[in-house]
Amino acid sequence: MPELPEVETTTNGLKKKIMGLKIKDIWTDLSTKDIRQKNAVANPKYFPLFKHDVIGRKVISVGRRAKNILINLSGNKTILIHMKMTGHLLFGRYKFKKKINKWLPNETGPLQDPYNRFVHILFSFSNHKMLAFSDSRKFGKVTLLDTHTMHKSVHLKDIGPEPLARSFLFPNFKTSLIKRPNQKIKIALMDQSLIAGIGNIYSDEILWRAGIHPESTVSKIKEEEMKLMFKAMKELLLKGIDFGGDSMSDYRNIDGERGKFQLHHKAYRKTGEKCSKINCTGVIRRKVIGSRSAHFCSSHQKLFL
């Protein structure tokens, strides 16, 4: 699933591509009765309402909240996009193939990447280019909110603070995590109601760098290690953005290109490899914790219970 750095990379790309453009049309081939998609484009009863409210509006700004992309439109409307497990946004020229009922890139280059072929939603803009939502598993969410009240909506109201905000200092970090004193730190870091935007990849990397075992109990972690974890979180999320996100799996940026953070993993999906920490003799292990996979060093990551 795209995490904060991937969503931030996409958001930054959109700011360069769609600002000031008008939405001319919208297409989708999604159709679901899943109650969780009741007010989303994937619901065939909701889609006509969404389309009516969006066409003709201009993109005013683009932002991010946790793992959600927020495209603010004229008339105080905001398109919220959550890429979920396998979704990513692509921008360029597309053509529709009636025989297969699919949109395909009408240009050479990264958009031709096989991971970019699962286009299920497409926005046409006034400059004759398109914003495509590729999502192989069709779990992504696209909906429309009132801009002034969107942060009170069910989609955003229970999300925790942004970890890269200047105002998010170590005391805030500690206060957020200690709300789950008996929880394992791996799970607490990924709890979106505590801290926004961290998922499986970056939680593994943060804990590896801080030297904390993922099964450690939050309340038992010492102050010194908690500070190391806070520092690692800030550094690694920024590093993820600098490298254009993580493309170990499906994620691509809006130009269809892979990010490079996966080339710098120290723990995530490194099972069986020797730990790369200097003078460490450990091996990277994998263990399921709270239904999520954790990758960690068998030696230098301390267990606090």
Tell me which of 3, 8, 225, 257 is the catalytic residue.
Answer: 3
Tell me which of 2, 5, 110, 163 is the catalytic residue.
Answer: 2
Distances (CA, A) of 64 to 4, 8, 37, 70, 234: 9, 7, 21, 6, 17
**DSSP-based three-state secondary structure for 183:** coil
How many degrees, rounded to 5, is the angle at CA 33 between CA 30 and CA 36? Answer: 95
The total number of residues shown for the chain amounts to: 305
Give yes or no: 3 in active site: yes
Give yes or no: 44 in active site: no
Listing DSSP states for 136-170 in one string gives: TT---EEEEEEGGGGGGSTTTTT----TTSTT--H
Contact between 196 and 66 under an 8 Å Cβ cutoff? The reply is yes
Give yes or no: 67 in active site: yes
224 vs 170: CA distance, rounded Å:
11
Give yes or no: 292 in active site: yes
52 vs 259: CA distance, rounded Å:
35
Tell me which of 64, 65, 67, 138 is the catalytic residue.
Answer: 67
Q: Which residues are catalytic?
A: 2-3, 67, 292
